[in-house]
Amino acid sequence: MLYPKIGIRPVIDGRWGGVRESLENQTMRMAENAAKLISENLKYPDGTPVQCVIGCTTIGGGAEAARVAEQFSTQNVTATLSVTPCWCYGTETFDMDPNTIKAVWGFNGTERPGAVYLAAVLAAHAQRGLPAFSIYGHDVQEANDDTIPDDVAEKILRFARGAVAAGWMKNKAYVNIGAVTMGIAGSFCDAGVLQKYFGIRAEWVDEVEILRRISIGIYDHDEYEKALAWVRENCKEGFDKNLGKNLPPVITKSKIVPADKDWEFIVKMTLIIRDILYGNPRLDEMGWHEEALGRNAVVGGFQGQRQWTDWLPNADFTEAIMASTFDWNGPKAPTPFATENDTCNGIAMMLGSLVSGSAPCFHDVRTYWSPEACERVTGQKPDGVAANGFIHLINSGATALDGSGACVDAMGNHVMKPFWEMTDADIKACLNATDWCRADYEYFRGGGYSSHFRCKAEMPVTMLRFNIVEGIGPVLQIAEGWTADLPDEIHNTIDKRTDPTWPTTWFCPRLTGQGAFTDVYSVMANWGANHGVTVYGHVGADLITLASMLRIPVTMHNVPAEKVYRPHAWASFGTQDQQAADYAACKQYGPLYR
């Protein structure tokens, strides 16, 4: 594939006859060092290093700016980082391409006024409606200092991480398999929003396509045998809550696939859904050329309830294993794939996974438990990260297995890893932490299995949700916090009050004492929908930067103010109230691909 790249623009003082010549080496070193920093620290979602393209010439004026722009136009450069140690001619050297995301690094030194150029060119960007991110080190450096200060490196990497995410999703597809689930608003896929804000094509595939491919045999039969054997060896069955129930005929007549054939059906369904999203050259060899092409997906979702699950096995295994960092073939990139085809939550899964590199975990944002309610019900008050209360994140068995927290790093800490770091031991640990409980026939008449685990790790995670609000448009919610390992006495009592066959995560947001983060109750009360996503790590600052690139305002977050990084022009919309400025700037500039 032609990867989205970061274009490095070495900008220089255009005065020949001594000035420019004296700055050539230093300017190019800045460009090379920035490219090296990005490529050594960031990876694409497929695990390969992020690629940078350095301008073919230093840029002292409009002619050279055009030469570099022409070079970049053939390389899928989706964002540019202009670097300079000196004064340059602002509007003659700046990136005026409206389709690239922009940043400028002005070297903080006293010998040459790089900071003066930075301020001048940012004013030009703002005046011309081309917002750019400002990168300026806190401390003065010596002219011959080639190191990149930590604060500068942090901003370069945050900018590049967001820009690569935006470039990766562009021109790919959200694949809706099925339609709207049970009236869930997030399931109404807004093709215009996906196109204008993310550059994503919306596509729809009827669920009957799965049945067609199963009936005709349009899947890799060899891989099916491999996957089924892997499932039978590694996916141990758990509690069956249907045992002993006297189910009415409307349910018993609806189970079309025999219970002992569920896994066979589910594995075929999983292979087929993956092929629908991404294609499969093996199908071409079998004579199915159109099916082999796939849909060029970057994210998708499955309706399931109820027209499917009222008579066929649910897709919980499919959704869980697609979002995980492994399957029967070993480590793999996770696929953001939304339960109940909640498109808005699918987008949140995509955003979170792109900036974190970890598996996106889909959750019902089920219940807020105050310390008092917890003590009343269980006899114990929570402590540690859960001392102020917690939110019960639970889902109908479709959460990525990485969310069990069973993986450990070199120091023994429980973590979630990018797929390229997953070992056989990590995969085995996630599988051992999970059992597969037969679906509740009263909810899923067609049967199936739900992934069931208890996240017993205390891990840093970020919860997020993408919403669409009439009169505003898209908004993003972000809550950094931790998963909690509650005592058995608390976990067992509360978990049984919902569905003991589903995976449970106890989430504790970091509180600020203000707004939506005054307390844990306020986080729950201000959450915009019934679903949310967690990804590993505190990546709220990266999500804020990415959202500003896409022109999506952030309606709530608990990221420290010093970590919030948006285009420089946002300050012109107000510096006292950053949230109001964010809303105003996003409204003024409009979606990235309008």
Q: Which amino acid is at 442?
A: E
- Contacts of residue 341, defined as CB under 8 A and 6 or more positions apart, other chains included, come to 176, 177, 178, 179, 180, 181, 187, 189, 301, 302, 303, 304
Q: Where are the beta strands (DSSP E) in 4-60?
A: 5-10, 52-54
Residue 388: both structure tokens together: 């102020």
Distance from C-alpha of 69 to C-alpha of 114, rounded to nearest angstrom: 22
Burial of 177 (C-beta count, 10 Å sphere; 0-12/13-18/19+): buried
The helix (H) or strand (E) run that includes residue 275 is helix 262-278
CA 390 vs. chain centroid, Å, equals 23
Smallest CA-to-CA distance from 259 within 126, 67, 447, 531 is with 447
C-alpha dihedral (509, 515, 518, 523), degrees to nearest 10: -40
Please compute, for residue 464, the number of CA atoms within 13 A of its CA located in the half-sphere on the CB side.
Answer: 32
Return the number of other C-beta atoms located less than 10 Å from residue 221's C-beta. Answer: 12
Rounded to an integer, what distance in angstroms lies between the CA atom of residue 64 and that of residue 55? 9
The dihedral of CA 204, 209, 210, 211: what is its sign?
A: positive
Set 291, 364, 402, 582: catalytic member? 364
29 by Cβ neighbours in 10 Å (0-12 / 13-18 / 19+) ranks as middle
Relative to beta strand 297-302, strand 337-338 is: parallel
Q: What's at 430, amino acid-wise?
A: C
CA 547, 279, 402, 268 dihedral sign is positive
Selecting among 64, 340, 402, 480, the annotated active-site residue is 340
Q: Which residues pair with 99 in a beta bridge?
A: none
Does residue 190 have an active-site annotation? no
- For the question of residue 364 being annotated catalytic, the response is yes
Q: What is the DSSP string of 384-419?
A: GGGTT-EEEEE-SS-S-GGGG--EE-TTS-EE---G
Look up residue 558 and give its DSSP letter: -
DSSP states along 170-208: TT-EEEEES---TT-GGGS--HHHIIIII--EEEEE-TH
**Cβ-contact 487, 506 below 8 angstroms:** no
- Helix (H) or strand (E) holding 582, with range, is helix 578-589
Q: Catalytic residue numbers?
A: 340, 364
